[in-house]
């Protein structure tokens, strides 16, 4: 590993004066990191040999379930981060923006399809959407992108298909529902007379001035994105997995069954669950799969459409960009539309 | 301190999770958690993340976002999230890997499970040879039992099945379920399936959750307290090691 | 950068804050109304049928077949009374999760549209009740029969309702045939009664003669209806001191090589039988040994279960429930499940007491039998095929003016039809003069519906096989 250390291929544009110290520090930190990882492996190998650590059945099952969710979603999270790095760092800025229709409706429709080429889950989309506004997109347009991208991102489609196949129109309902919500919300907010009033003061100011961060090499920028994305994603995945496991273990099946077969409560329960567990769109299909046997398909679609757009984590991230009032309006419209999509699917299927 | 911990927390978590994953992969235990089709993908991605994580520690890219010091509630929420995710990360490396237990199996309703309901077809099995029948799993048998409870159908068929013990609710003294979990994606969606086994006073010799291998045939249920039509009556019943692939797919 | 970024704001953004708020409110209102409508519809609708599974061919050939109805959601337990089947047949119901299983007690009628309705289906959380209804049309059997003629004998395939006549194999001197697996087993007899067994694949046209373990007459061909197990007896040509001694029963699995295996008796010696048959729908054999013991043999395990002592073997009933045997006290139906014996006494036909001949006794105790009616003065008699429901017997088939003879009959596996082999006129002596198993050249097989006695079809030939 030490031979691939990119310190030697680092850029030569800045911070020449710090190079020797930084370079030495890098070797130090590389050693610390390697030793740390080795220590984790050693600990794991030691504890793995133990018969049991005295965890009772249900708690052990809770941990098994949580671990399985983490391990199942981890590769997709990593893939999402890697692709996000490629898109943000290694592709030209305006690649996707060159050929857009002029009519607002068509333009938003095209933007809502951007997600297919930007396989980033919702957490990665907020920085991208901010970038789009900085590059001159209107606020409703970037909102359209923000809402559609996590749902029609290819990883999401693949994982949803892995989990549900084409059963009961769940995959199709999710894709079409997500596109519809994004376009309608985009249209609604395009009627707003002062788009910039929807942005937080600090971000609006930043837009006015333009982007200027510290300059970084591509390698550094890539690793920076890796750090930032994993800091946002990993706690959410860990806590989400614990909640998903806890619901599985703790909530009696009868309760789930009677909730899941009620037209109103199954929708509301799914929306509440999506809001709380705040799991990424790229792996949320795995979270909701066990509920598919007790909940009606439309309710599952509601979870899959509502979750990527509105949840605790997303509201927190979006708050960096939009005003509280806009987020409230957005949540209301998206919640009603997801509920509506779920109810329609429950009725039709 | 706070902001740099927040900044590095994700990398630490990912390194822990990825190390645990790689170790599970190296010791062939990933199938305890996920469907085998994901194993290669998972290990490759974990290895990539491991390299990225260590490199990012080494390079320590400059912070491009001006840190906003969290205040009040958001600081509390952030702290709780940090602690909670840290605790889960700790269990990832401390708790020995294991399968789901009978606690979850009974929680998820063995009898009502319709998993693998078409894994075997009565007409095709009616005259199947012994070799095929010997290969039948708990899922295959429960699929057949769901299709027909005609004792003649089972009369010339000897079952040889492995599973873990889950107590029956109707007649816990004499009947238990020999269960397996079926996994379509990962352990979260594991659905239990099982066949009822009639073994009076089984609890004297066997524990709940123990893995046993049973050979025997399906006969009319002698228990008056259970309304199942047919049960597996064991000829031999031995405790076995947990199979290397405990779930069925 | 791009020219897009400096383009003018789209005109629709130039609305007042007032109109934005109005549109927003309208959008919310419309969405609320839509949600309300579909929520109401959802409450009113109740559970729906999303798919159903039934094997329309298996359901006509064996009992205890299951129709599985999958609802779009989990259901509360379904009451047995809530299920109706039209036309009416006995069925048991079980439900679990989103699945309702309807098990038909008996095989269903051919080519009939059945409608299964489940009333009062409701989700566990309540809401409105709905009726799940599913219709399916049952399959039709394929019929095979032997048509002996000049220059060669033909095995013919046909259907219940079609007049199509497809020759699957033609050859000389065919004694018996039976479809087994993908092939047909065909026996012949030479002038000295030495038999051959040939396997014919109608698709490829390949025929192969099976190497038999002993030289002799090959007879009593039968095959399991599903699967690939074939059985037959070989009798040595040199009868020895006791002529019946060498009817050895052999089986062969045509899908697994060409090993001809003797069925072993309780004492471990090859079993010698005076009559035998596979139990329809299984690989179990029922045989009457030359030592007059009726046995049931599980071919998979070799387990032999004695069922009693009898003299003659008639047949295993078409539904596989009973075997009909004869001893000096008359005919008896022996239940294959537990060996209980039921003495068969035919009910009267129009007040007259008939004599019982060959009989098929189904699970419900109904008989389809050859019966002989003798005039009060004993001067004349007529041979009929009759159906006996335990109360009275009803003539199913009788030759014109009683001039003919009923040779044999084969009840369909679902007890709906009987194929009756008839020589229309016994005074025409027209035997085909085969050394074994000779038949009149005029032999005709009629398909008679048991419920009505109506003749639905006739073919020139005999040995009809229901598949």
pLDDT of amino acid A208: 66
For residues C444 and C458, is the Cβ–Cβ distance under 8 A? yes
Six token digits for residue B134: 């010997």
Q: Which residues of B touch A83 (CB under 8 A)?
A: none
Residues A253, A242: Cα–Cα separation, whole Å: 18
pLDDT of amino acid A122: 67
pLDDT of amino acid C143: 93
More confident residue, B184 or A173: A173
Asked if the model's pLDDT at residue A1 lies above 60, the reply is no
Mean pLDDT of C290-314: 89
Nearest to A60 among B98, B188, B190 (CB): B98
Lowest-pLDDT range of A6-10, B16-20, C224-228, C418-422: A6-10
| Residue C146 bridge partners (DSSP) | C155, C462
- The confidence band for A15, taking pLDDT boundaries of 50, 70 and 90, is very low
Q: Is C224 on the interface with B (CB under 8 A)?
A: yes
What is chain A's mean pLDDT, rounded? 79
- The confidence band for B60, taking pLDDT boundaries of 50, 70 and 90, is confident
Residue B13: CB partners within 8 Å, gap ≥ 6? A230, A234, A235, A238, B85, B86, B89
Tokens 């030479």 belong to which residue? C190
State yes or no: cis peptide before C87, omega within 30 of 0: yes
Q: Which of A56, A84, A234, A286 is the mutation pick for testing B, counting most B CBs within 10 A?
A: A234
Six token digits for residue A342: 């779920």
pLDDT digits (tens, 9 = 90+) for B94-123: 888 888 887 777 776 665 555 555 566 666
Six token digits for residue B188: 């979260």
What is chain C's mean pLDDT, rounded? 87
Lowest-pLDDT range of A315-324, C87-96, C394-403: A315-324
A37 and B19 within 8 Å at the Cβ level: the answer is: yes
pLDDT of amino acid C242: 57
Q: Which of B120, B129, B151, B156 is the mutation pick for testing C, counting most C CBs within 10 A?
A: B156
Residues A99, A15: Cα–Cα separation, whole Å: 38
pLDDT digits (tens, 9 = 90+) for C75-108: 888 888 888 998 999 888 888 777 888 888 888 9
Q: Is A346 on the interface with C (CB under 8 A)?
A: yes
Determine the distance in angstroms separating the CA of C446 from the nearest CA of chain B, rounded to an integer.
Answer: 30
For residues A309 and A147, is the Cβ–Cβ distance under 8 A? yes
The rounded percent of chain A whose pLDDT value lies above 90 is: 13
Residue A274: CB partners within 8 Å, gap ≥ 6? A284, A302, A303, A306, A307, A310, A311
- List the chains bordering chain B where 3 or more Cβ pairs fall under 8 Å: A, C
Q: Which residues of C touch B152 (CB under 8 A)?
A: 282, 284, 337
The rounded percent of chain C whose pLDDT value lies above 70 is: 95
Reference A275, options A219, A225, A234, A316; nearest CA is A316
The rounded percent of chain B whose pLDDT value lies above 90 is: 9
pLDDT of amino acid C449: 93
Reference B86, options B183, B182, B30, B15; nearest CA is B15
Rounded to two decimals, the pTM is 0.69
pLDDT digits (tens, 9 = 90+) for A144-154: 988 998 888 88
C39 and A336 within 8 Å at the Cβ level: the answer is: no
Residues C374, A339: Cα–Cα separation, whole Å: 81
pLDDT of amino acid C145: 93
Nearest to C99 among B114, B129, B156 (CB): B114
Phi, psi torsion values for C128, nearest 5 degrees: -85, 155
Nearest to C301 among B113, B114, B156 (CB): B156
pLDDT of amino acid C294: 93
Q: What share of chain A is helix, strand, coil (3-state, %, to 5)?
A: 80, 0, 20
Minimum Cα–Cα distance from B151: chain C residue:
C337
pLDDT of amino acid A16: 46
- List the chains bordering chain A where 3 or more Cβ pairs fall under 8 Å: B, C
Nearest to C64 among B146, B150, B155 (CB): B150
pLDDT of amino acid C178: 94
- In order, the DSSP letters of A212-250 are ------HHHHHHHHHHHHHHHHHHHHHHHHHHHHHHHHH
Residue A128: CB partners within 8 Å, gap ≥ 6? A84, A87, A88, A118, A120, A145, A149
Mean pLDDT of A328-335: 93
Phi-psi region of A36 (alpha: psi -120 to 50; beta: other; left: phi over 0): alpha
Handedness of CA A223, A228, A233, A235 (dihedral sign): positive
Neighbours of A89 (CB within 10 A): 17
Asked if the model's pLDDT at residue C417 lies above 50, the reply is yes
Q: Which residues of A touch C4 (CB under 8 A)?
A: 97-98, 100, 136
Beta strands at C229-236 and C216-223: parallel, antiparallel or unpaired? antiparallel
pLDDT of amino acid C239: 59
Determine the distance in angstroms separating the CA of A169 from the nearest CA of chain B, rounded to an integer.
Answer: 18
Phi, psi torsion values for A247, nearest 5 degrees: -65, -40
Asked if the model's pLDDT at residue B136 lies above 90, the reply is no
More confident residue, C64 or C372: C372
What value, to the nearest 5°, has the Cα angle with vertex A195 and ends A189 and A196?
145
Six token digits for residue A167: 């059963």
| CA distances to A102, B218, B219 from B223, in Å | 76, 13, 11
The segment with the largest mean pLDDT, out of A49-58, B57-66, C328-337, is C328-337
pLDDT of amino acid C3: 37
- The confidence band for A32, taking pLDDT boundaries of 50, 70 and 90, is confident
Domain residue ranges in chain A? 29-348
Q: Which residues of C touch A92 (CB under 8 A)?
A: none
Q: Which residues of A touch C10 (CB under 8 A)?
A: 104, 107, 138, 190
- The confidence band for A173, taking pLDDT boundaries of 50, 70 and 90, is very high
Hey, is B175 helix, strand or coil? strand
Minimum Cα–Cα distance from B127: chain C residue:
C227
Lowest-pLDDT range of A236-250, C30-44, C336-350: A236-250
What is chain B's mean pLDDT, rounded? 81
Q: Which residues of A touch C97 (CB under 8 A)?
A: 293
Nearest to A98 among C2, C19, C38 (CB): C2
Nearest to B45 among A75, A228, A293 (CB): A75
Handedness of CA B31, B34, B40, B45 (dihedral sign): negative
Q: Which of B109, B121, B126, B146 is the mutation pick for testing C, counting most C CBs within 10 A?
A: B126
More confident residue, C326 or A244: C326
Q: Which of B9, B58, B210 is the mutation pick for testing A, counting most A CBs within 10 A?
A: B58
Q: Which residues of A touch B209 (CB under 8 A)?
A: 57
For residues C443 and C407, is the Cβ–Cβ distance under 8 A? yes
pLDDT digits (tens, 9 = 90+) for A107-119: 888 888 887 877 6
Asked if the model's pLDDT at residue A134 lies above 80, the reply is no
Asked if the model's pLDDT at residue C4 lies above 90, the reply is no
ipTM here: 0.83
Tokens 């490759």 belong to which residue? B44
pLDDT of amino acid A137: 79
pLDDT digits (tens, 9 = 90+) for B184-204: 777 777 778 888 898 888 888
């Amino acid at each position: 590993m030490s031979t691939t250390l990119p310190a030697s291929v680092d850029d030569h544009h800045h911070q020449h004066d710090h190079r020797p110290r930084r370079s030495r520090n890098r070797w130090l930190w590389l050693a610390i990191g390697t030793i740390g990882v080795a220590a984790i492996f050693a600990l794991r190998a030691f504890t793995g040999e133990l018969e049991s650590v005295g965890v009772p059945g249900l708690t052990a099952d809770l941990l098994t379930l949580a671990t399985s969710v983490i391990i199942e979603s981890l590769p997709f999270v990593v893939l999402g981060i890697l692709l996000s790095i490629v898109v943000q760092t290694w592709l030209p800025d305006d690649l996707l923006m060159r050929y857009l229709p002029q009519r607002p409706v068509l333009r938003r429709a095209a933007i809502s399809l951007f997600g297919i080429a930007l396989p980033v889950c919702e957490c990665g989309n907020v920085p991208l959407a901010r970038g789009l506004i900085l590059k001159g997109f209107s606020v409703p347009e970037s909102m359209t992108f923000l809402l559609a991208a996590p749902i029609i991102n290819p990883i999401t489609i693949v994982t949803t298909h892995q989990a549900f196949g084409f059963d009961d129109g769940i995959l199709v309902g999710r894709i079409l529902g997500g596109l519809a919500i994004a376009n309608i919300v985009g249209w609604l907010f395009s009627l707003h007379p002062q788009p910039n009033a929807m942005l937080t003061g600090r971000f609006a100011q930043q837009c006015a001035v333009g982007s200027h961060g510290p300059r970084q090499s591509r390698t550094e920028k890539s690793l920076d994105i890796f750090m930032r994305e994993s800091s946002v994603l990993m706690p959410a995945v860990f806590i989400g997995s614990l909640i998903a496991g806890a619901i599985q273990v703790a909530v009696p099946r009868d309760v789930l069954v009677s909730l899941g077969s009620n037209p109103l409560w199954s929708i509301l329960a799914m929306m509440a669950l999506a809001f709380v567990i705040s799991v990424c769109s790229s792996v949320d299909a795995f979270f909701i799969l066990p509920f598919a046997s007790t909940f009606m398909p439309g309710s599952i679609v509601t979870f899959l459409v509502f979750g990527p757009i509105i949840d605790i984590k997303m509201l927190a991230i979006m708050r960096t960009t939009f005003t509280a009032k806009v987020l409230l309006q957005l949540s209301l419209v998206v919640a009603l539309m997801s509920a509506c999509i779920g109810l329609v699917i429950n009725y039709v299927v | 301190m706070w902001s740099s911990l927040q900044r590095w927390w994700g990398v630490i978590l990912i390194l822990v999770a990825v190390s645990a994953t790689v170790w599970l992969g190296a010791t062939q235990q990933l199938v305890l958690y996920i469907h085998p089709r994901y194993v290669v993908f998972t290990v490759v991605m974990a290895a990539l993340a491991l390299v990225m994580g260590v490199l990012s520690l080494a390079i320590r890219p400059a912070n491009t976002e001006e840190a906003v010091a969290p205040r009040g509630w958001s600081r509390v929420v952030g702290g709780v999230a940090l602690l909670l995710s840290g605790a889960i990360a700790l269990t990832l490396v401390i708790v020995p890997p294991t399968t789901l237990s009978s606690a979850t199996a009974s929680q998820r309703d063995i009898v009502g499970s319709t998993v693998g309901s078409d894994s075997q077809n009565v007409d095709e099995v009616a005259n199947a040879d012994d070799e095929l029948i010997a290969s039948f799993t708990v899922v295959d048998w429960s699929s057949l039992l769901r299709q027909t409870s005609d004792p003649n159908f089972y009369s010339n068929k000897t079952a040889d099945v492995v599973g873990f013990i889950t107590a029956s609710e109707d007649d816990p003294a004499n009947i238990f379920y020999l269960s397996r979990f079926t996994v379509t994606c990962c352990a979260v969606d594991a659905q239990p399936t099982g066949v009822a086994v009639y073994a009076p006073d089984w609890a004297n010799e066997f524990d709940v959750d123990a893995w046993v291998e049973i050979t025997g045939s399906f006969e009319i249920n002698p228990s008056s307290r259970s309304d199942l039509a047919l049960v597996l009556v064991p000829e031999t019943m031995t405790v076995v090691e947990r199979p290397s692939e405990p779930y069925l797919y | 950068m791009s020219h897009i970024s400096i383009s003018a704001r789209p005109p629709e953004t130039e609305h007042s804050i007032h109109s934005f708020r109005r549109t927003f409110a309208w959008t919310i209102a419309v969405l609320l109304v839509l949600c309300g409508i579909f929520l109401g519809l959802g409450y009113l609708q109740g559970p729906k049928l999303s798919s159903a599974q039934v094997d329309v061919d298996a359901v006509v050939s064996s009992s205890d077949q299951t129709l599985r109805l999958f609802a779009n959601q989990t259901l509360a337990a379904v009451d047995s009374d809530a299920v109706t089947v039209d036309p009416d047949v006995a069925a048991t119901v079980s439900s679990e999760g989103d699945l309702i299983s309807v098990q038909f007690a008996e095989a269903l009628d051919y080519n009939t549209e059945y409608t299964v309705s489940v009333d009062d289906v409701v989700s566990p959380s309540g809401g409105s009740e709905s009726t799940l209804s599913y219709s399916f049309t049952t399959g039709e059997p394929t019929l095979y029969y032997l048509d002996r003629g000049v220059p060669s004998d033909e095995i013919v395939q046909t259907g219940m309702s079609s007049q199509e006549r497809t020759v699957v194999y033609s050859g000389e001197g065919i004694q018996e045939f039976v479809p087994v697996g993908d092939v047909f087993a065909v026996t012949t007899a030479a002038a000295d009664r030495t038999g051959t067994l040939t396997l014919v694949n109608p698709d490829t046209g390949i025929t192969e003669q099976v190497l038999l373990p002993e030289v002799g007459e090959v007879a009593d061909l039968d095959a399991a209806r599903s699967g690939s197990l074939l059985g037959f007896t070989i009798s040595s040509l040199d009868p020895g001191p006791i002529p019946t001694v060498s009817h050895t029963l052999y089986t062969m699995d045509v899908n697994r090589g060409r090993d001809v295996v003797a069925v072993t008796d309780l004492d471990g010696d090859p079993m010698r039988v005076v009559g035998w048959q596979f139990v329809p729908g299984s690989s179990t054999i029922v045989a009457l040994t030359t030592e007059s013991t009726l046995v049931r043999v599980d071919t998979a395990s070799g387990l032999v279960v004695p069922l009693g002592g009898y003299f003659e073997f008639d047949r295993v009933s078409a539904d596989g429930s009973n075997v009909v045997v004869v001893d000096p006290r008359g005919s008896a139906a022996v239940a294959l499940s537990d060996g209980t014996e039921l003495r068969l006494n035919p009910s009267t036909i129009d007040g007259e007491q008939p004599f019982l001949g060959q009989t098929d006794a189904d699970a419900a105790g109904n008989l389809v039998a050859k019966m002989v009616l003798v005039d009060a003065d004993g001067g004349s008699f007529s041979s009929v095929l009759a159906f006996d429901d335990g109360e009275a017997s009803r003539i199913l088939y009788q030759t014109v003016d009683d001039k003919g003879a009923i040779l044999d009959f084969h009840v369909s596996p679902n007890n709906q039809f009987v194929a009756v082999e008839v020589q229309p006129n016994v005074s025409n002596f027209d035997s085909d003069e085969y050394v074994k198993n000779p038949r009149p050249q005029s032999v005709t097989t009629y398909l008679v519906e048991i419920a009505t006695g109506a003749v639905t079809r006739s073919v020139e030939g005999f040995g009809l096989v229901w598949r």
